[in-house]
Structure 1
């Protein structure tokens, strides 16, 4: 597990550096331009590379040494972020897009590399649980810390910290060993799509994941106006978001104990729990109830994301895993964009309550469909895999 510790360290440090800029970059752009639209474009720019380049990035990830791909992606992202020091709006847009290009390459490489490092037994559940828990902690700490540092130290210092975080990540990954067991594919995107189509689990999870993420994005987009209108203001919204982070952390810890439960049961239960949490949240008139519902949403939402990822890493041929992961990441970006646009549009056309409850119902229906269609996988890992983990 030595190599995983290096991977986890690099990922955690670079993730924290990125989340420090989640608030700082839009705030700095707004200070430069005074335009809400220009500020919003910085967020939209993050999704473009995943939509346009995601599947092709998966081809490169499966064709090259994934360890070197991750190192190169980190160095590239460090250089991309440094471009923001130029200070012009155009430079920031270019930097955001370039950084996202690096992430589009890094994420499928990391998802495909982890099972090669820790095996596909129980250690894989633990590794994904650790990563998800790290995501939750960074999401809680990064944005407010970035906002404080922006005021106290300035935008340039935050840029320097993010550049340094990517370089630290590259060094940590360089300290790992190349896995001789990790095969690199020689075929292109067509072969990867064929492998995805032949894998019933991936074929079933792809549309279910898209529907869930689109509904979740719609509800997330409605949370701020709902909180301001019904819960009292932006401070209350921040408390609800913190509760979501706490729930996400709890779910990340819990998911490691679900190996002996079938994926269809875990996924259906988690999605139904998420739908119920959203229904309660968007019906709440008191902050306390809203925060409890947010914890429930975060916990079940975390399980909904991590459990299918672990199952795919177990059953997919590692030779094609980068391409399969990249397709899922592209669907994630597309679904998020659709949900973020459709949710507010329905809220303005009909009502916020109708849009929120509609998205919650869609999430629940997706859960019921998944309970019937998802293959019977994610039982206890095979003994051979457990033994492989003990020698990793």
Structure 2
């Protein structure tokens, strides 16, 4: 399997292993943190789940990534990245402990402010991981490391999520249980901070500290957008993944409501939560499948050819769901949609990296980050208007399938005659 072989290659490096450990432990904490949030927002007996509530919560969770993203790259050129990883995890530990206390004492505005703060700090942490990677692997292993690190991080998050789910099932539904899951996440963040100290402060760069003002983030975002517009392969790929993300976001919110209100009694939050955990497991399986089959598919049909084929697979899946829905079908759909989402994103990442100038790469990826997350926020607003409370509407699922198909056809036409192949 190419994925396992690549992982073995990059794990030979001591510095990579240390950075990898920081990522895995921290993202396992992210998984537990997200389980606690899902329990509080969507599966609390005191709160009814509606499309508007789900959309608002998910949009709020993504907004920090959209707003902080343009400034993260600029500030990471000014601060020692090892220190960013250390301090970000330490700060998140304190914030999540505070959230656990607030859950027990009072679920109010202060709780949601603290959650947004934790998510914003997480954005700096993830950006720091990405910027640090070239400092711990040779140039000829960078593509491998870029492929395996995020995938393994996602799997670690799923593992952390199942740990949180297990605690919830063992201890029962309640604010006290959610607080314990949050404390488990805080412990993971604290452990990740300790692991970061095994690296020397200057190991991860930047090589030359530069003076940078936060306002430079706006200029960097504009520069990145202009550069993408001048590089047609990158522009086409970002437009396609943006439309894909929009369709995926509507489907994601509908799935939460299906688990909460359609396949389970809305009063039985435990059953709904269990089903959502199974859906996330299926989604994670799809991510793992994508890591295995994407190198094969992109070799067979080209990098751009694999992207639009992933979109077609997602479109067909949504059309089937528009005709009929059942729990087994929902789980199969989650596997296919997860594989399509991860497979297309791996390829789009590679296309953008290959087609932009190195001097603009950081700014381009800041712009990419905003496009990717803003599409999800817009999807949340759209879902609030279109998706019913029980999550199932044949016209809505047909619309989602048509959006995927539009992305596939549009991107296939854009690259026709000059397909993109990235090795």
Q: How many residues align?
A: 378
Q: Provide the secondary structure at the position in 2 that maps to 1:336.
A: helix
The equivalent residue for 1:25 is 37
Separation of aligned partners in 2, 1:96 and 1:147: 19
Asked if 1:67 corresponds to 2:79, the answer is: no
Which deviates more from structure 2 when the two are superposed, residues 238-247 or residues 175-184? 175-184
Unaligned stretches of 5+ residues in structure 1: 381-392
Separation of aligned partners in 1, 2:307 and 2:260: 32
Q: 1:330 offset after TM fit, Å?
A: 2.4
Q: Provide the secondary structure at the position in 1 that maps to 2:323.
A: coil
Asked if 1:214 corresponds to 2:246, the answer is: yes
| Residue of 151, 167, 171 corresponding to 1:149 | 167
Q: 1:96 offset after TM fit, Å?
A: 0.6
Q: How does 1:1-392 map to 2 (within 5 A)?
A: 1-28=13-40, 34-36=46-48, 43-87=58-102, 88-89=106-107, 90-119=109-138, 121=140, 123-136=142-155, 138-139=157-158, 141-150=159-168, 152=171, 154-176=177-199, 178-179=203-204, 188-189=216-217, 190-199=219-228, 200=231, 201-226=233-258, 234=272, 238-257=277-296, 260=299, 262-316=302-356, 320-348=360-388, 352-373=393-414, 376-380=419-423
For the 8 Å contact 1:268–1:368, the answer to whether it is kept is yes
Unaligned stretches of 5+ residues in structure 2: 1-12, 266-271
- 1:5-51 deviation per Cα after TM superposition (whole angstroms, max 9, x unaligned): 22221111111112112232353568999344898565443223223
Which deviates more from structure 2 when the two are superposed, residues 70-79 or residues 189-198? 189-198
Q: 1:68 offset after TM fit, Å?
A: 2.9
For the 8 Å contact 1:4–1:118, the answer to whether it is kept is yes
For the 8 Å contact 2:28–2:161, the answer to whether it is kept is no
Tell me the TM-score normalised to structure 2 length: 0.76
Q: 1:281 to 1:338 in 2, by over 3 A?
A: same
Which deviates more from structure 2 when the two are superposed, residues 154-163 or residues 94-103? 154-163
For the 8 Å contact 2:66–2:370, the answer to whether it is kept is yes
For the 8 Å contact 1:251–1:303, the answer to whether it is kept is yes
RMSD: 3.5
Which deviates more from structure 2 when the two are superposed, residues 294-303 or residues 109-118? 109-118
Q: 1:184 to 1:265 in 2, by over 3 A?
A: farther
Q: 1:301 to 1:31 in 2, by over 3 A?
A: closer
Separation of aligned partners in 1, 2:220 and 2:284: 38
For the 8 Å contact 2:298–2:305, the answer to whether it is kept is no
